[in-house]
Amino acid sequence: MLLLAAKIGLMTVANGQVASGEVAMWQHLRTSIAVLVRKGAPIGTAAFISADGYAVANTLIIQKGATELITEAGLTYKIHVESSDSISQLTLIKTTTQPAGITIVRPAEKSDLEAGTVYAILPNKVLRGDLTGSEKLFIDQKTKRTFPIQEIRVEQPALQMGGSLLFSQNGRLIGGLFAALAQESTYNAAPPAVADLAQTVQKSAQGTAQQNQSLRNFGPQGMIVGYSPTWEVTSKAIAGFLTPERKAQYGLLGVFITDNKFGGVEIQSLTKDGSADNAGLEVGDVILEINRDKIRKQIDFSRATYKLVPGTTIPIQVRRKAEILTILVTVGVQHAQVDGHPLSSTEPNGFLETR
């Protein structure tokens, strides 16, 4: 367990050690992170994705009423909401004036997650967690679209981590973390700037009395489980946020599918005049490949569709009765705006399957 903070809290390390790579990660990341505040109280974090003040935050936090952000330099900026995406659960915000002294966060790629260690950043803590390797499908209740999510386990005291942002070891954004926890924490401190980790690490190495007491306070804890949309979903959302439309855009085929017991996914229905319908796919077709990606089950289908670029034409291989066909399909576009009902990991019908 790792809890990092200086100006925004107290650093606590269960084993008393901080890896040099973690120090480097935070030094690289800290000027990209801002603290979101409401009525003077910190309630969450945001990450800058452009130098002119566009940033992303977890929608769960924005819906709590954040009105300002504070940068690592201690500067306060008013914010307004540009757009929200119900699939990635990220909201695009912008400062009303251009911020000074910030750097930019990049979305994670597959290789960034190979180490398995991730970091959830809260206003007064940075929590180390581990990807379990378990993936599930979740239904976006607004669009009825499935998307892949990943499981993260964090050892920590009773602390609200839902609504935080999740980063890889090299400081790239994986996504917004949502979780169902027994107890929600409140932040009572004055509005902080983002932590100066280098100074904190030095103090930790010296083993101050205050930090030694903290080590006694935080012994082994139960594992808290959270979920985050996968890096593919977050990357797609950020790419859309950086377009002139400032909206997340997802490739759309216009099919509703279920697993086929012999492999692949079977089309249950098609959207009339949608991409698949116009290309000649039919109910009962079993999709085996999408743009040469093998489709064995629904989670493969979900992952493959997040790679699709609206407007491009791709091959889809299907089994139709005893025949194998390859059909060219022009990918449509789907926006997924939040309508005030955030994604919740507690929705009983949300999870479809585990891989």
Q: What is the per-residue pLDDT across 324-343, written as a single tens digit (0 to 9) for each?
A: 999 999 999 886 665 443 33
Helix (H) or strand (E) segment spanning residue 147: strand 146-155
Gap between the Cα atoms of 206 and 263, Å rounded: 58
**In this structure, how many other beta carbons lie within 10 angstroms of the beta carbon of residue 330?**
14
72 has a pLDDT exceeding 70 = yes
pLDDT of residue 159: 54
More confident site: 37 or 197? 37
> What DSSP string runs through 55-77?
EEEEHHHHTTT--EEE-TTS-EE
248 has a pLDDT exceeding 50 = yes
Instruction: Find all residues with CB under 8 Å of 142, minimum gap 6, and list them.
Output: 86, 336, 337, 338, 339, 341
Pairing of strands 41-48, 76-85: unpaired
Share of the chain above pLDDT 90, in %: 45
Residue 170, SS3?
A: coil
**In this structure, how many other beta carbons lie within 10 angstroms of the beta carbon of residue 310?**
15
Identify whether the C-beta of residue 177 lies closer than 8 Å to the C-beta of residue 226. Answer: yes
> What DSSP string runs through 176-220?
E-B---S------SPPPPPP-HHHHHHHHHHT-HHHHHHHHH---
Which stretch of 73-82, 164-173, 205-214 has the lowest confidence by average pLDDT?
Answer: 205-214
Which whole-number Å values give the CA distances from 315 to 46, 63, 265, 271, 279, in the listed order?
Answer: 38, 40, 16, 19, 10
pLDDT of residue 282: 96
Report the CATH architecture of 2-241: Beta Barrel (2.40)
Report the CATH architecture of 250-334: Roll (2.30)
4 has a pLDDT exceeding 70 = no
Q: What is the per-residue pLDDT across 105-133, written as a single tens digit (0 to 9) for each?
A: 999 998 988 878 888 888 877 888 888 87
Domain residue spans in the chain? Answer: 2-241, 250-334
Q: What is the per-residue pLDDT across 264-294, written as a single tens digit (0 to 9) for each?
A: 999 999 999 999 999 999 999 999 999 999 9
What is the value of pTM for the model shown?
0.75
pLDDT of residue 188: 39
Nearest to 241 by CA among 87, 348, 103: 87
Share of the chain above pLDDT 70, in %: 72
pLDDT of residue 110: 87
pLDDT of residue 249: 85
Q: What is the per-residue pLDDT across 131-188, written as a single tens digit (0 to 9) for each?
A: 887 777 777 666 667 778 888 887 665 455 667 899 998 899 999 887 544 433 433 3
> In the block, which residue shows the tokens 């659960």?
89
Which whole-number Å values give the CA distances from 259 to 256, 269, 351, in the listed order?
Answer: 11, 13, 15
Helix (H) or strand (E) segment spanning residue 300: helix 298-305
**Buried b vs exposed e over 54-84: b needs ≥16 C-beta within 10 Å?**
bbbbbbbbbbeebebbbbbeebebebeeebb
Gap between the Cα atoms of 89 and 87, Å rounded: 5
20 has a pLDDT exceeding 80 = no
Mean per-residue pLDDT over the chain, rounded: 77
